[in-house]
Chains A and B, each alone.
Chain A
Amino acid sequence: METLFFAIISLVAIISAILVITCKNPINSALALIMTFFCLATYYVMLDAPFMAAVQVMVYAGAIMVLIVFTIMLLNIRVNATQKHSHKVLLGSIIGLFTLINAVALLFKSQAAKPVGTYSVEMINKIGHSELIGKEMFTTFLLPFEITSILLLVAIIGSVVLAKKKI
């Protein structure tokens, strides 16, 4: 049952990912990308990470995609049917295909190590996923978390400076 579900979600994810790079209109690409993000959120639920699924839907499918769709609508680009691609479709496809072959070959050649961590599914079900994530984030990863706030501040200032006409 779970394998069948996994296969269906994989099919939807890959088809919508292909639609992202083949659609003529950027809006259609954006909608296909939202579909892919929802499929990835489903994967996260299947991998016992419900908090990450919620964050994926809220941050990616919500915030970032709304930003992209707003920009597409703001710029209001005329779709130019004849010049969708640059002239290196074949070369780009070959490079992408080799990336895929390389990754899959590496995957089948290597062997994953045994589970070493202390977190198990029972623990996640008992304590709660967000609580475990929060505890880890505010103890072990406190310094990176604080640095993230500086990064966001830089992003705010940078986007205001770039988008403004005169400062």
Chain B
Amino acid sequence: MENLTGYLIVSAILFSIGTIGVLTRKNAIVIFMCIELMLNAVNLTFIAFSRHFGHLDGQIFVLFVMTVAAAEASVGLALMISFYKNKESIDVDDVNMMKW
């Protein structure tokens, strides 16, 4: 319980690494994986706080986050497949129709 800070720091580091990946990579699938990494960092925070406070609410919330991530994975990957069919690549720079 005294190690709560350690878990939170690891979670913050993982979240920032995920942020850097989302902002700098071109491949849409890698960006997607970085989003999964950020979701997992948040899950770690939830479970660490749940353990610290003695509530189970955080862990239930982690279950819901996992469900949403699974739904997001299926829809997102279907989007990428249809995008690849249209553009023959999955670089996010090729989606520039709405670019100003």
Count chain A residues whose beta carbon lies closer than 8 angstroms to a beta carbon of B. Answer: 80
Q: In the complex, which residues 16-64 of chain B have their Cβ closer than 8 Å to any Cβ of chain A? A: 16-27, 29-30, 32-34, 36-37, 40, 43-44, 47-57, 59-60, 62-64
Does A81 have its Cβ within 8 Å of any Cβ on chain B? Answer: no
- Bound complex: CA A65 to CA B52 (Å): 30
Q: Does A67 contact B74, Cβ atoms closer than 8 Å? A: yes
Contact A68 B84 (CB under 8 A): no
CB distance A159 to B74 under 8 Å? yes
A155 to B73, CA, bound (A): 9
Check A86 for interface membership: any CB of B closer than 8 A: yes
Are A158 and B12 CB-contacts (below 8 A) given A21-B25, A33-B37, A44-B47? no
Q: In the bound complex, how far is the Cα of B93 from the Cα of A136, in angstroms?
A: 45
A21–B16 alpha-carbon span in the complex (Å)? 11
SS of B interface (majority): helix
Q: Is A88 an interface residue (CB 8 A)?
A: yes
Which positions in B face A, CB cutoff 8 Å?
A: 1, 3-10, 12-27, 29-30, 32-34, 36-37, 40, 43-44, 47-57, 59-60, 62-64, 66-75, 77-82, 84, 89-93
| A–B Cβ pairs within 8 angstroms, 23 of them | A14-B10, A17-B14, A17-B18, A20-B33, A21-B30, A47-B51, A56-B43, A60-B40, A60-B66, A63-B70, A67-B73, A88-B23, A96-B19, A96-B20, A96-B23, A97-B20, A107-B5, A113-B53, A115-B54, A116-B54, A119-B55, A155-B70, A155-B74
- A-B CB proximity, top 7 nearest: A92-B23, A117-B54, A96-B20, A155-B71, A21-B21, A117-B55, A100-B16
